[in-house]
C-alpha cells in the first residue's frame, strides 16, 4: 500500500467516524425533549400488558416534568405508527408484544431471541434521517416494567452508553449496567 493510498484510507475513516452521532443515554431525557415541548412519541403494543402501559405512562410523566408543565400528547399504539423513522420514539415492550420493537429488531424469527429472563434492555438506535429510537423491553412484562422504572426515575441512576441491561428482584431493587 502506497503512502497516498494509506492517507486516503485514513482520511475516509476519519470522515466516517466524525459523521457518526454520539448517542448516549446520559443525555436522557434531553434527547427527546426540545424547546419545552416533546418531539417524541412513546409507542406501546396494541395488545400490550398492563405493565407495558403503566411503564409508558411513567416515562411520559418523566418527560412531562421536563416541559414546563405543558401538556404532551405523545403516546401511540404500534398500529397507529406508519413510518417508524418519522419520529423520535421510545418503544416500550419487546418484539413479541410491540410491532415497532419487532421492526427495529429486524423482525426476529423467534421474538425472544437476544432476551434473557429477568433482564430488561434499554438500547438507542439512530435512523438515517437523524431521528432517534429507544427500545425499552424485557423478556416478560415485569422485566419491561422494571426497565421503564429506570427511565421514569432517570435522575436516580447513572445512565450511559447506547445500551444498558436492567435486572432486579423487585420494582425498587434495580441494578443497571452498560453493555457498550
HEC assignment per residue over the chain: CCHHHHHHHHHHHHHHHHCCCCCCHHHCCHHHEECCEECEEEEECCCCCHHHHHHHHHHHHHHHHCCCCCCCCCEEEHHHCCCHHHCEEEEECCCCCCHHHHHHCCCCCCCCCCCCCCEEEEEEEECCCCCEEEEEEECCHHHHHHHHHHHHCHHHCCCCCCEEEEEECCCCCEEEEECC
CATH class for the domain made up of 23-178: alpha beta
List C-alpha distances in Å: 11 to 8, 47, 60.
Answer: 5, 49, 43
pLDDT grade for 71, boundaries at 50, 70 and 90: low
* Structure confidence by residue, pLDDT tens digits, 138-173: 999 999 999 999 999 999 999 999 999 999 888 888
**d(Cα 57, Cα 39) in Å, to the nearest integer?**
16
* Structure confidence by residue, pLDDT tens digits, 91-134: 999 999 999 999 999 999 999 999 999 999 999 999 999 999 99
Please give the share of the chain, as a percent, with pLDDT higher than 70: 82
**pLDDT given at position 172:** 83
Reading the block at residue 151, the C-alpha cell is 427511565
pLDDT reading at 37 higher than 80: no
**pLDDT given at position 5:** 45
pLDDT reading at 67 higher than 90: no
**d(Cα 32, Cα 151) in Å, to the nearest integer?**
12
**Residue 44 CB contacts under 8 Å (≥ 6 apart), including other chains:** 52, 53, 56, 75, 76, 77, 78, 92, 93, 98
pLDDT grade for 176, boundaries at 50, 70 and 90: very high
pLDDT reading at 48 higher than 70: yes
The residue extents of the domains of the chain are 23-178
Q: Which residue has the cell 420493537?
A: 101
**pLDDT given at position 74:** 81
What's the sign of the alpha-carbon dihedral 78, 40, 49, 107? positive
Mean pLDDT, the chain, rounded, equals 85
**pLDDT given at position 6:** 42
The residue-averaged pLDDT of 8-30 equals 59
Amino acid at each position: 500500500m502506497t503512502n497516498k493510498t494509506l492517507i486516503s484510507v485514513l482520511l475516509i475513516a476519519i470522515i466516517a467516524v466524525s459523521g457518526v452521532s454520539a448517542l448516549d443515554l446520559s443525555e436522557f431525557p434531553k434527547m427527546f425533549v426540545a424547546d419545552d415541548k416533546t418531539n417524541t412519541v412513546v409507542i406501546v403494543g396494541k395488545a400490550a400488558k398492563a405493565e407495558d402501559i403503566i411503564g409508558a405512562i411513567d416515562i411520559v410523566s418523566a418527560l412531562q416534568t421536563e416541559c414546563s408543565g405543558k401538556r404532551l400528547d405523545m403516546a401511540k399504539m404500534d398500529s397507529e405508527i406508519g413510518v417508524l423513522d418519522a419520529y423520535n420514539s421510545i418503544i416500550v415492550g419487546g418484539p413479541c408484544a410491540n410491532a415497532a420493537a419487532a421492526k427495529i429488531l429486524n423482525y426476529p424469527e423467534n421474538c425472544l431471541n437476544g432476551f434473557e429472563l429477568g433482564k430488561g434492555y434499554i438500547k438507542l438506535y439512530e435512523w438515517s434521517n437523524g431521528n432517534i429510537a429507544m427500545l425499552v423491553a424485557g423478556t416478560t412484562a415485569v422485566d419491561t416494567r422494571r426497565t421503564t422504572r429506570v427511565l421514569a426515575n432517570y435522575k436516580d441512576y447513572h445512565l450511559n452508553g447506547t445500551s444498558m441491561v436492567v435486572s432486579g428482584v423487585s420494582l425498587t431493587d434495580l441494578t443497571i449496567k452498560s453493555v457498550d
